[in-house]
A and B are shown apart, each in its own frame.
Chain A
Amino acid sequence: EAQVTQNPRYLITVTGKKLTVTCSQNMNHEYMSWYRQDPGLGLRQIYYSMNVEVTDKGDVPEGYKVSRKEKRNFPLILESPSPNQTSLYFCATRGSTSYNEQFFGPGTRLTVL
């Protein structure tokens, strides 16, 4: 079954404690992306990756890092989380030919105290 997985699904942490949210896809897609969703703001893109070892900033990259060492994985790293990073995070991927459709993971709800 084609899917995008994220871990953890829920996380409560404290300010300054480094964390990583993993994202993995089994669709052999080159493109992957991270979004955060906040009430009234919709989904905003954090980072995206067009291919392995190629990453670019989205609209709200401050405070986040990503890496793309292999095609299937695209982890999101918060080196020093702050309360304003409390949000719902989604990883997404899309194909190279029909890139209009993005497939989203189930989401990770992060709370930073």
Chain B
Amino acid sequence: GQSLEQPSEVTAVEGAIVQINCTYQTSGFYGLSWYQQHDGGAPTFLSYNALDGLEETGRFSSFLSRSDSYGYLLLQELQMKDSASYFCADTGRRALTFGSGTRLQVQP
């Protein structure tokens, strides 16, 4: 089976940095993706890590350590519009398994 665990909720202030962790227990793990979902909206792709290390895309970075079965999403210079739910996902060739999501609240 596959399972990915994330904190259910994180709160941070505007301009700060926040890290959302994801630990996984999967067989045949392929790579880790991150998606953002605003209330009432569809998930949108943020980043993907196939290999260990850090991937940077603007204010967002994502990290993967296969040896630790662990990854995280790092959001810098937080803005109010970053308030949303964030999901990590084991991204296989055939199927995609999501964590239960982390709700990020950015406060002024």
Question: For chain B, which range describes its interface: under 10, 10 to 19, 20 to 34, or 35 or more residues?
Answer: 20 to 34
DSSP majority for the A interface? strand
Q: Are B98 and A104 in contact (CB under 8 A)?
A: no
Number of A interface residues in the complex (CB < 8 A): 23
Stretch at the interface among B11-19, B37-45, B65-73, B75-83: B37-45
Q: How far is the CA of A40 from the CA of B99 in the complex (A)?
A: 10
Contact of A104 among B44, B93, B99 (CB under 8 A): B44
In the complex, chain B residues whose CB is within 8 Å of the CB of A41: 100
In the bound complex, residues from chain A placing their C-beta under 8 Å from that of B94 are 48, 50, 56
Closest chain B residue to A109, Cβ basis: B40
- Please, what's the 1-or-0 string for A99-111, where 1 marks a CB less than 8 Å from any CB in chain B? 1111111110000
CB distance from A77 to the nearest CB of B (A): 20
* Complex CA–CA separation, A102 to B97 (angstroms): 12
Cα(A58)–Cα(B97), bound, Å: 9
- Indicate if A73 sits at the interface (CB-CB under 8 A): no
* Closest chain B residue, CB of each to CB of A50: B94
* Residues 37-81 of A contacting B (Cβ, < 8 Å): 40-45, 48, 50, 56, 58-59
* Cα distance, A58 to B8, chains bound together (Å): 24
Spell out B's residues near A (CB within 8 Å): 8, 31, 33, 35, 41-45, 48, 50, 87, 91, 93-101
Please report A residues at the B interface, Cβ cutoff 8 Å.
Answer: 33, 35, 40-45, 48, 50, 56, 58-59, 90, 99-107
User: 7 closest Cβ contacts across the A-B interface?
Assistant: A100-B48, A104-B42, A42-B100, A42-B98, A101-B45, A43-B98, A42-B101
Of the A-B pairs whose beta carbons lie under 8 Å apart in the complex, a sample of 28, sorted by A's number, is A33-B95, A33-B96, A35-B98, A40-B100, A42-B98, A42-B99, A42-B101, A44-B98, A56-B94, A90-B42, A99-B93, A100-B31, A100-B33, A100-B50, A100-B91, A101-B33, A101-B48, A102-B35, A102-B43, A102-B45, A102-B96, A103-B45, A104-B42, A104-B43, A104-B44, A106-B41, A106-B42, A107-B41
